[in-house]
């Protein structure tokens, strides 16, 4: 019998889970944990701010399908980790956070005056799926197993285990338990009930017009082929949540690109049966309600989700199936095939042709902005040129108010699961670290992060993290020297008529909406990265190519026209989304 400690027990559990990376910053209070990770060959990837560790873990989890693990130390480390955990839970990424806390004799409850201590579980349990503290060495393995069980139940999100320093580090004379994951947690996908598959197939085949709406659940289940098969069999257009864009590549005839919001509303109103997979129909899906969707009395819904709490949450489901998206769609495709043809094929094809025509026309209208070659550039060029320069399959991270909207409008999703943002939370600055997590997840290709100058200012220190870890990230910072999106709203709130007439108010007419300039290219160079600055749209491609060829992480400071930047396409739809739909 050898001596061990709580840190080793947890490190070995993570090894059994197949964890290869842990994101976080070191501290003496969990030396027993991270030194054992190191000993076991699990790499510790260290950012320069704990909140970034959470975003790196979240991005890594989403892109690889593995568990994302982050760590932070008691008091300040955990305080810094909080915003990242809030966001990753909201985005639904499978993240396990392991933190240290002070010794049990002085916390839970705090004796009063304990150094670097606060009620970490009390704070995190309000927004995470599960959060608990270990109270004695005997319970480390058991609570570790409970935490992991929660990681694989329901909607993915954040699970947290808090471990006192004395339990992390103190030597105990016992053997390390060696349970395999299959011995204590769900390790197989949820199998659909056959009668629900048949009922769904009957409904969808008999429909006048069906649609499929896909959420992130399709990404978590890697159900891309099965989704395409069902869509093709039904000749059904596919809409997505923002986060699931590209699960059916937007080059496919049946794909309805999310940025064409009016068309999405139309498609959702044309259908009498909707198959909703891996989406809870939240606010950015207009809650599944009229006038954006057809009323439930005229549109039945088949809903498939791994989380029972999601089923029928926003609108009533005719079939509410608790099942893995991939297994359900595969069984559904077989069931549809067995039924032979489906109703109204000609009418469906006519509608589809109409949708394609709308997509072509809307695209052409948007692309007119690419004719604008004035300096500083129209922001339309940024994502458009990035897509041309970066290899197919590059992960795009979109962060920053209007910078992200422009990126969404001018980037076509051609490969599933190559887009990151915080679509649910809209957290400025999270993209800096999401890009790092993406580069760790996919070291074989570069990552492109399009980000506003306000958002980049939240975490510029992480450029050094990219350099130190040799992460192939190119930050394309869209510089308008203002909080662009908010300034636009503010102008309309202050002087709507003048804003409409003159497009922008004067410098003294807005409230604290302007920013000073940060030379992001110089900042990059100061940290050992490659820097570029470009204002002329004709020079953007060459600047990006130099950035990629530099062999280093890079930052491209892009000067955009601040007024044009405020008038991002589709802004009215986002305003619209903030009000409760009538239906
Ligand atoms: C952390 C955080 N703080 C505040 C906001 C509110 N907010 C939304 S957009 C925006 C302005 C964004 O400015 P920038 O990143 O420069 O992007 P731009 O709109 O100028 O392209 C702000 C402050 C937010 N979403 N996230
Ligand atoms: Mg800005």
- Averaged pLDDT for residues 315-339: 97
Report CA-CA distances (Å) from 161 to 106, 185, 188: 18, 16, 24
Taking the centre of ligand 2 as the mean of its atom positions, its distance from the CA of residue 452, in whole angstroms, is 5
Yes or no: say if 400 and 424 are a contact pair by the CB < 8 Å rule.
no
pLDDT in tens, 97-143: 999 999 999 999 999 999 999 999 999 999 999 999 999 999 999 99
Please report which confidence band the pLDDT of residue 313 belongs to, taking 50, 70 and 90 as the band edges: very high
Yes or no: say if 55 and 73 are a contact pair by the CB < 8 Å rule.
no
- Averaged pLDDT for residues 207-213: 96
- Spell out where 436-528 has E strands: 447-452, 473-479
Residue 462 has pLDDT above 70, yes or no: yes
| Rounded-to-integer distance, Cα 515 and Cα 174, Å | 58
- Averaged pLDDT for residues 564-568: 97
Residue 432 near ligand 1, beta carbon < 6 Å = no
Q: How many percent of the chain have pLDDT more than 70?
A: 100
Tokens encoding 171: 């030597």
Residue 558 near ligand 1, beta carbon < 6 Å = no
Residue 494 has pLDDT above 70, yes or no: yes
Taking the centre of ligand 1 as the mean of its atom positions, its distance from the CA of residue 455, in whole angstroms, is 6
| Rounded-to-integer distance, Cα 443 and Cα 5, Å | 33
Nearest to 462 by CA among 30, 7, 59: 59
Cis bond upstream, residue 109 (ω within 30): yes
* Length of the chain in terms of residues written: 583
Residue 26 β-bridge partners: none
Residue 427 near ligand 1, beta carbon < 6 Å = yes
Residue 575 has pLDDT above 80, yes or no: no
pTM: 0.97
Taking the centre of ligand 2 as the mean of its atom positions, its distance from the CA of residue 376, in whole angstroms, is 14
- Given this model, what pLDDT does residue 347 score? 87
Closest ligand to Cα 427: 1
Nearest CA residue ID for atom 13, ligand 1: 483
| Rounded-to-integer distance, Cα 464 and Cα 293, Å | 46
Closest ligand to Cα 451: 1
Residue 1 has pLDDT above 70, yes or no: no
Q: How many percent of the chain have pLDDT more than 90?
A: 94
pLDDT in tens, 15-30: 999 999 999 999 999 9
- Given this model, what pLDDT does residue 102 score? 97
- Given this model, what pLDDT does residue 169 score? 97
Tokens encoding 427: 């957290």
| Rounded-to-integer distance, Cα 505 and Cα 49, Å | 37
Yes or no: say if 225 and 247 are a contact pair by the CB < 8 Å rule.
no
Q: Which atom of ligand 1 is nearest to the CA of 451?
A: 15
Closest ligand to Cα 84: 1
Tokens encoding 485: 């999106």
pLDDT in tens, 49-90: 999 999 999 999 999 999 999 999 999 999 999 999 999 999
pLDDT in tens, 224-247: 999 999 999 999 999 999 999 999
Nearest to 342 by CA among 208, 160, 487: 208
Q: Which atom of ligand 1 is nearest to the CA of 83?
A: 1
In the predicted model, what is the mean pLDDT of the chain?
A: 96
Residue 87 near ligand 1, beta carbon < 6 Å = no
- Given this model, what pLDDT does residue 489 score? 93
- Given this model, what pLDDT does residue 38 score? 98
- Given this model, what pLDDT does residue 31 score? 98
Taking the centre of ligand 2 as the mean of its atom positions, its distance from the CA of residue 451, in whole angstroms, is 9
Taking the centre of ligand 1 as the mean of its atom positions, its distance from the CA of residue 289, in whole angstroms, is 28
State residue 451 phi and psi, 5-degree precision. Answer: -145, 145
Residue 343 has pLDDT above 80, yes or no: no
Taking the centre of ligand 2 as the mean of its atom positions, its distance from the CA of residue 482, in whole angstroms, is 4
Cis bond upstream, residue 376 (ω within 30): yes
Residue 573 has pLDDT above 90, yes or no: no
- Given this model, what pLDDT does residue 426 score? 96
The best mutation among 376, 397, 401 to test binding of ligand 1, ranked by most ligand atoms within 8 Å of the C-beta, falls on: 401
| Rounded-to-integer distance, Cα 114 and Cα 248, Å | 53
Nearest to 491 by CA among 563, 427, 576: 563
| Rounded-to-integer distance, Cα 253 and Cα 249, Å | 9
State residue 524 phi and psi, 5-degree precision. Answer: -60, -45
Residue 341 has pLDDT above 80, yes or no: no
């Amino acid at each position: 019998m050898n001596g061990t400690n709580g840190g080793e027990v947890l490190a070995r559990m993570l090894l059994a889970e197949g964890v290869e990376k842990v994101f976080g910053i070191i501290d003496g209070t969990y030396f027993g944990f991270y030194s054992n990770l190191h000993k076991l060959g699990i790499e510790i990837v260290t950012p320069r701010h704990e909140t970034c560790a959470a975003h790196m873990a979240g991005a890594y989890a989403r892109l690889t399908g593995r568990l994302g693990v982050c760590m932070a130390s008691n008091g300040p480390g955990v305080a810094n980790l909080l915003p990242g955990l809030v966001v990753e839970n909201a985005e639904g990424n499978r993240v396990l956070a392991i933190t240290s806390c002070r010794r049990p004799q002085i916390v839970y409850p705090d004796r009063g005056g304990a150094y670097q201590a606060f009620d970490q579980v009390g704070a995190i349990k309000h927004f995470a799926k599960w959060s608990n503290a270990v109270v004695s060495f005997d319970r480390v393995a058991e609570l570790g197993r409970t935490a992991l069980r929660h990681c694989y139940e329901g909607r993915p999100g954040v699970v947290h285990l808090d471990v006192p320093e004395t339990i992390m580090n103190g030597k105990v004379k016992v053997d390390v338990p060696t349970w395999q994951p299959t011995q204590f947690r769900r390790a197989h996908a949820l199998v659909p009930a056959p009668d629900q598959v048949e009922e769904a197939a009957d409904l969808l085949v008999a429909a006048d017009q069906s649609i499929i709406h896909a959420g992130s659940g399709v990404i978590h289940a890697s159900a891309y082929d099965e989704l395409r098969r069902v869509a093709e069999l039904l000749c059904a257009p596919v809409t997505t949540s923002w986060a699931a864009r590209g699960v059916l590549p937007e080059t496919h005839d049946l794909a309805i690109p999310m940025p064409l919001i009016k068309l999405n509303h139309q498609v959702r109103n044309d259908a009498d049966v909707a198959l909703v997979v891996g989406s809870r129909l939240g606010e950015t899906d207009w809650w599944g309600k009229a006038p954006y969707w057809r009323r439930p009395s005229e549109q039945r819904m088949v809903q498939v989700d791994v989380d029972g709490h999601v089923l029928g949450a926003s609108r009533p489901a005719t079939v509410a199936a608790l099942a893995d998206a991939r297994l359900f769609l595969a069984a559904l495709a077989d069931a549809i095939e067995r039924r032979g043809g489906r109703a109204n094929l000609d009418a469906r094809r006519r509608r589809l042709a109409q949708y394609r025509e709308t997509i072509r026309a809307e695209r052409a209208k948007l692309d007119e902005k690419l004719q604008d070659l004035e300096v500083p550039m129209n922001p339309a060029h940024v994502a458009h040129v990035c897509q041309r320069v970066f290899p197919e399959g590059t992960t795009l991270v979109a962060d920053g108010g209007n910078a992200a909207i422009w990126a969404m409008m001018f980037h076509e999703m051609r490969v599933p699961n190559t887009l990151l943002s915080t679509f649910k939370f809209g957290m400025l600055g999270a993209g800096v670290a999401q890009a790092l997590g993406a580069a760790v997840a996919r070291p074989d290709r570069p990552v492109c992060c399009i980000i506003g100058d306000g958002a980049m200012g939240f975490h510029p220190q992480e450029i050094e993290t990219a350099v130190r870890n040799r992460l192939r990230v190119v930050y394309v910072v869209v510089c308008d020297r203002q909080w662009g999106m908010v300034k636009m709203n503010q102008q309309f709130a202050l002087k709507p008529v003048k804003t409409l007439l003159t497009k922008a108010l004067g410098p003294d007419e807005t409230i604290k909406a302007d920013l000073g300039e940060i030379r992001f290219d110089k900042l990059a160079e100061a940290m050992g990265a490659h820097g570029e600055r470009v204002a002329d749209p004709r020079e953007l491609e060459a600047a990006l190519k130099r950035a990629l060829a530099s062999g280093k992480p890079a930052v491209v400071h892009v000067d955009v026209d601040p007024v044009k930047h405020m008038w991002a396409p589709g802004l009215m739809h986002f305003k619209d989304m903030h009000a409760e739909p009538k239906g």
